């Protein structure tokens, strides 16, 4: 658990799930406070885990943050940021420095991010969010939301590429290829930035076996008492290992990315769900 409001600490907590028979749920979380992060106190950021060569890298991206080393009247203060921090242990944090010395995506808070497995290295994806705070001579007090999608192929998340297209200079003629920005305001289809939504990668089963019923308790029990699944099978004195039946896989699935809910700029909070229909996040379908 990292940071959050009030913006006074950049605290980091580690939660250990432990079995506790005296509790009704049978489990409890024991929290341990770790060393404070090197990043400034903030809220509205997002965190992803990228696994590469058996090492898990944790990234903290952007957020609404205070400034402890910038007292300039135009750039300091509490505002949305676009800094990136990386750690492998939650204790030592390194600031990611892009090759151009500035992150491509604009400062933002309450955005969504996720990682997507690929054949080379996991991608980091960022969508939406918005700007709030001091901007030059202005003080942006109502979050100005984004319609964009950015990906990073780098292991350290240093370089980013925007993969959507947007045109138009104001809300009345704005257009975006991100279908999850499409909404209806006063009976008219418009495109608006979105913030406070969730971005989730999920492998959707083509078929869900009716006989499979798993409860939360079953899932937790499997963590502490995992079933033995790799025992060899002996057939007529010949020891063999089980082989999956490739002709019938009830869990045959398709990897997808979902944009869920959020708040539309100049509009209401929504409960819509959009699913990517390709592997490059350029086509989205409303669910």
Residue scoring higher pLDDT (262 or 278): 262
202-221 average pLDDT score:
57
pLDDT of amino acid 22: 74
pLDDT of amino acid 44: 95
By the 8 A CB rule, do 199 and 125 touch?
yes
* Contacts for 86 with CB less than 8 Å, ≥ 6 apart: 57, 58, 59, 60, 93, 94, 95, 96, 156, 157
pLDDT of amino acid 287: 73
What is the value of pTM for the model shown?
0.78
pLDDT score of 253 more than 90:
no
pLDDT score of 20 more than 80:
no
pLDDT of amino acid 95: 93
Distance CA 51, CA 137 (A): 41
pLDDT of amino acid 241: 47
Ranked by mean pLDDT, the top range of 140-149, 252-261, 271-280 is 140-149
- Looking at every residue in the chain, the average pLDDT score rounds to 80
pLDDT of amino acid 245: 46
Residue scoring higher pLDDT (250 or 53): 53
pLDDT of amino acid 205: 65
The answer to whether the bond into 177 is cis (omega within 30° of 0) is no
Give the pLDDT band (50/70/90) at residue 234. Answer: very low
pLDDT score of 269 more than 60:
yes
pLDDT of amino acid 235: 43
Distance CA 211, CA 157 (A): 42
In tens, the pLDDT along 81-126 reads: 999 999 999 899 999 988 776 678 999 999 999 998 876 778 899 9
Residue scoring higher pLDDT (252 or 281): 281
Distance CA 195, CA 205 (A): 28
Alpha carbon separation from 16 to 37, 80, 115 (Å, rounded):
19, 31, 23
pLDDT of amino acid 94: 94
Strands 238-240 and 188-191: unpaired
In tens, the pLDDT along 190-201 reads: 899 999 999 998
* Contacts for 201 with CB less than 8 Å, ≥ 6 apart: 114, 115, 116, 117, 255, 256, 257, 258
Domain ranges of the chain: 37-204+252-286
pLDDT score of 283 more than 80:
no
By the 8 A CB rule, do 196 and 262 touch?
yes
pLDDT score of 251 more than 50:
no
* % of the chain at pLDDT higher than 90: 37
By the 8 A CB rule, do 33 and 15 touch?
no
pLDDT of amino acid 244: 47
Give the pLDDT band (50/70/90) at residue 239. Answer: very low
Note the residue count of the chain.
287
Task: List the single range of 117-121, 144-148, 182-186 with lowest mean pLDDT.
Answer: 117-121
């Amino acid at each position: 658990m990292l940071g959050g409001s009030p913006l006074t600490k950049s605290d980091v907590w580690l939660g250990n799930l432990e079995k506790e028979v005296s509790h009704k749920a049978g489990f409890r979380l024991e929290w341990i406070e770790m060393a404070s992060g090197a990043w400034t106190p903030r809220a509205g950021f997002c965190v992803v885990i990228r696994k590469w060569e058996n090492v898990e890298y944790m990234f903290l991206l952007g957020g609404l943050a205070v400034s402890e080393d910038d007292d300039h009247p135009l750039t300091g203060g509490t505002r949305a940021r676009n800094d990136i921090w990386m750690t492998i242990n939650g204790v030592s944090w390194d600031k990611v420095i892009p090759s151009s010395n500035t992150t491509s995506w604009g400062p933002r808070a309450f955005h969504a991010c996720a990682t997507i497995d690929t054949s080379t290295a996991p991608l980091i994806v960022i969508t939406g969010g918005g700007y709030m705070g001091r901007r030059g001579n202005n003080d942006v007090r109502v979050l100005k939301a984004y319609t964009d999608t950015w990906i990073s192929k780098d292991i350290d998340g240093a370089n980013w590429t925007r993969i959507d297209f947007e045109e138009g200079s104001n809300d009345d003629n704005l257009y975006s290829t991100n279908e999850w920005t499409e909404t209806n305001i006063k009976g008219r289809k418009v495109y608006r930035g979105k913030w406070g939504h969730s971005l989730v990668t999920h492998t959707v089963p083509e078929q869900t076996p009716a006989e499979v019923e798993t409860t939360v308790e079953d899932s937790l029990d499997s963590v502490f008492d995992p079933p033995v699944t790799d025992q060899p099978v002996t057939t007529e004195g010949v020891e063999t290992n089980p082989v999956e039946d490739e002709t019938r896989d009830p869990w045959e699935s398709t990897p997808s990315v979902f944009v869920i809910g959020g708040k539309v700029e100049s509009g209401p909070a929504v409960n819509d769900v959009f699913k990517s229909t390709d592997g490059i996040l350029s086509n989205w379908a409303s669910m």
